Amino acid sequence: MPRGSDGSTRVSAALEGDGLHRLERLGSVRRVAMTPKPPLAQQTRAAVLYGPGDLRVETLDVPPPGPDEVRLQVAFSGICGTDLHYWDGWKFDAWFPERSDPWVPGHEFSAAVQAVGPGVDDLAPGDLVVVEPNTGCEDCPTCDRGLVNFCPNKAIMARGAWADHVNVGRRHVFPLPGAADPRLASLTEPLACVVRGFDRVTAAPGDTVLIAGAGPIGLLALQLAKHQGAAQTLVSEPIAARRALADTLGADHVLDPAEDDPAAAARDLTNGGGADVTIEAAGANAALQACLDSVRDSGVVLILSVGNPAARFDLRPFDFFAREISIIGSNTRVHTFQRALDLIPRLNLAPIITHEFDLADAAAAVQTAKSGQGAKVIFDLRA
């Protein structure tokens, strides 16, 4: 990939925009900047979700970027568990935007700037970026409290990035550092959610951490727990392929809940005490139960999954007294995006991306993600 004189990485295919600006910034690639500008695409391929199980790859119009907007050429775009929930027809009664019309999913992606709209003067065509899909207004009582994830005026991408091209507001865009790998950078958004969860609990160096569920979120949590100095990590996962991934990614103990008792294993490894922190990353009641059973007295259960709003769970209130357990929730991200981006090169993330698809095969990609036979499934949309 070509390097600019400022060390930043560029995608040479995306050269729309102000050539003079490029000359200023990229003196050494003068000839590239002098080539005629390709016309800005007016249409894009996009995978459109019409309803549960009905995903169609279509051609949509895409307007030029408006004021304070950026046109992006998507590079890598991931499939999130929440996208699968919409595919399955889950009904969200809170927080998630209503998605009744056909819409384009995709909020975990890296991209190259293709053009900038009026008022954007700090990004240039070719810059590689990632996108924080929801941003708070930073100017309301909720944001004042630091709860930008609950901002009533938060900006949400109008159209997702299971598409070749997408326009987003400038404030969603984070430039990638020069040496960043855009494939791994597509994990920034889910990693930023895991960072938010870790911000909500006190995990000390030397802790024992148990993770129930070895999908993308569980595996990201495993990497972060190790990075933060967990003395030992246990991962419980019913699917063999995902247990193998947890093993590859350095879990100290990998458990099959069909055969092993996670709570007994956690106690065995901690002189009978249990794990200091347990992380529910499966969205399944059995996983939450395993977390409650495996955590030590006065320990913390962190819930990183997005459960089905229709699900219920039986709790015994007495245990909150008798065991002083904390159950901590976590919702998306609160100023964790840049920190996640900075963590990307410091974690072992490459094995977490197990499948790459062309957008034309979007339905097959979703089925692969739903099968659970890998971890993160992404689209490779590089021009």
**CB 140 → Zn ion: shortest distance, Å?**
3
Stretch that binds Zn ion, among 133-141, 207-215, 243-251, 325-333 (CB under 5 A): 133-141
Q: Binder to Zn ion among 136, 213, 216, 299 (CB under 5 A)?
A: 136
Query: Least distance from C-beta 144 to Zn ion, angstroms?
Result: 8
CB of 332 to Zn ion, least distance (A): 8
Note if 142 is an active site residue.
no
Judged by beta carbon, residue 38 or residue 152, the one nearer Zn ion is 152
The answer to whether residue 355 is catalytic is no
- Among 140, 155, 286, 364, interactor with Zn ion by CB under 5 A: 140
Binding residue (CB under 5 A) for Zn ion from 80, 301, 302, 325: 80
Please select the residue that binds Zn ion; options are 151, 195, 224, 378, rule is CB under 5 A.
151
- Residue from the set 116, 123, 129, 143 that interacts with Zn ion by CB under 5 A: 143
Residue 369 binds Zn ion (CB under 5 A): no
Query: Which range binds Zn ion by CB under 5 A, 92-100, 104-112, 157-165, 320-328?
Result: 104-112
Binding residues for Zn ion, total number by CB under 5 A: 7
Which member of 44, 85, 107, 270 is catalytic? 85
Q: Considering the candidates 9, 21, 59, 82, report the single residue annotated as catalytic.
A: 82
Give the nearest distance from C-beta 380 to Zn ion in angstroms: 18
Half-sphere CA count of 203, side-chain side, radius 13 A:
32
Q: Which stretch binds Zn ion (CB under 5 A): 117-125, 137-145, 305-313, 366-374?
A: 137-145
CB of 138 to Zn ion, least distance (A): 6
As annotated, the active-site residues are: 82, 85
Sites of contact with Zn ion (CB under 5 A): 80, 108, 136-137, 140, 143, 151
